[in-house]
Copies of this chain bind each other. A is one copy, B any other.
Amino acid sequence: MMTEMDFDRQKEGLSMCVVYLLSEQTKLRQVGGRFLLEKKGKRQASIPMDEVECVIQGKAAEITTPAIYELLARGVCIFYVDGRGRLLGQLGQFASSNLSWERSRIQYDTFRDSQRQVELTREIVRLKMNGQIELLRSYAKSKKDLELAYLADEVRKYRKKVAVTSAIEELRGLEGMASRRYFEAFPIIIDSKLWDWNGRNRRPPEDPVNALLSYGYAFLEREVRLAILGARLDVRMGFLHSNNGRKDSLVYDLMEPFRQLVIDRLVLKAVNRGQFHPEDFSYDDVLGCRLSEKAREGWISYYETYMQRSCSAYQGLAPREWIRSWVRQFADELFRNAASAV
């Protein structure tokens, strides 16, 4: 049975949780020293306050005012998202409350340094391609498929070029070409009789697998955003996406190394293991292909279990912790280098 909360949490001995309020008539209340999660008036979960680390609020759900104030007092972030999981607003954890001007300045100065900008961009693109290669290879091995091995080699060729390229525009171009090759592998990895796939598309996604990827990337965006807030970096300025008009470029930059290894891996596993079926999706001219409410609940439960479970693929960490520790290290390095340069 799927619910808003990840009930395996306690069994696994995990202490922090993300509360999702995405279903209709879901309500978060404060009662005594606990948060109560209700659905259609029925209690779904009672959570000790200390264990809530983030709340995802959807349009059809509700957080009572006392609960909002309690979350604010605890510095817990509330993310307001739309039906596709995209962020519309954020309450709590002011950027300004833990991010000093001096830290922003060092980040600015580092990212403005054209040599450092190239180095950082190259590293991020390289890590993304590593992820693509790793995923393609593991499926090539498990499926004994030569075409997948070939596509992995194609991405490797782009990765080689990345190592000797010093122009950011070229790095962006290589990333785009590698991604196209990488996504060519999808009809081989998934059951193409069951699932349509005509390449990666979005705004809106046209088929269920693209819908899952887009939904997953929206979840990843919030993970990375929280990690960036935690590492006291300024979300606004990045290096790779800094010039294409996107807001909060650092979020998009630091998502890159995790797209394939976390979200694509999770989506492909879910699809191949029968976690989702084509009938879990509906189509709409404007919104494209979307998960049904039931499938969305299934996603959340599946996602939370996955994000909180340690795994050898992530250096023995849970994916969520792996992302955070990587972003923390990224920040540490940034400020260590800057400090030594002063």
Residues on B with beta carbons closer than 8 Å to the beta carbon of A247: 94, 96-97
Q: Bits for A35-64, please: 1 = Cβ < 8 Å to B, else 0.
A: 000000000000000000000010111111
Residues on B with beta carbons closer than 8 Å to the beta carbon of A80: 68-69, 72, 91
Flag whether A65 is at the interface (Cβ < 8 A).
Answer: yes
CB contact between A104 and one of B57, B68, B72, B104 (< 8 Å): that residue: B104
Flag whether A294 is at the interface (Cβ < 8 A).
Answer: no
**How far, in angstroms, from A95 to B247 measured CA to CA in the complex?**
11
A73's closest neighbor in chain B, by CB? B88
CB contact between A95 and one of B88, B95, B100, B242 (< 8 Å): that residue: B95
**How far, in angstroms, from A338 to B63 measured CA to CA in the complex?**
45
Flag whether A277 is at the interface (Cβ < 8 A).
Answer: no
Flag whether A105 is at the interface (Cβ < 8 A).
Answer: yes
Flag whether A90 is at the interface (Cβ < 8 A).
Answer: yes
Residues on B with beta carbons closer than 8 Å to the beta carbon of A57: 65
A72 touches B101 (CB 8 A): no
Flag whether A119 is at the interface (Cβ < 8 A).
Answer: no
CB contact between A237 and one of B63, B92, B95, B101 (< 8 Å): that residue: B101
Known: A73-B88, A91-B80. A236 touches B96 (CB 8 A): yes
Q: Bits for A93-135, please: 1 = Cβ < 8 Å to B, else 0.
A: 0111101110011001000100000000000000000000000
A87's closest neighbor in chain B, by CB? B94
**Nearest chain B CB to A270 CB, angstrom units:** 29
**How far, in angstroms, from A95 to B99 measured CA to CA in the complex?**
13
Flag whether A248 is at the interface (Cβ < 8 A).
Answer: yes
A88 touches B69 (CB 8 A): yes
CB contact between A89 and one of B59, B63, B91, B235 (< 8 Å): that residue: B91
A57's closest neighbor in chain B, by CB? B65
**How far, in angstroms, from A104 to B242 measured CA to CA in the complex?**
14
A88's closest neighbor in chain B, by CB? B72
Residues on B with beta carbons closer than 8 Å to the beta carbon of A100: 236
**Nearest chain B CB to A172 CB, angstrom units:** 18
CB contact between A105 and one of B63, B65, B108 (< 8 Å): that residue: B108
Flag whether A66 is at the interface (Cβ < 8 A).
Answer: yes
Within 8 A of B (CB), among A242-277: 242, 247-248
Beyond the given A69-B88, A97-B247, could you list 14 further A-B residue pairs with CB under 8 A, ordered by the A residue number?
A61-B65, A62-B64, A62-B65, A72-B88, A72-B89, A73-B88, A80-B91, A89-B94, A90-B94, A91-B91, A96-B236, A104-B104, A105-B112, A108-B108
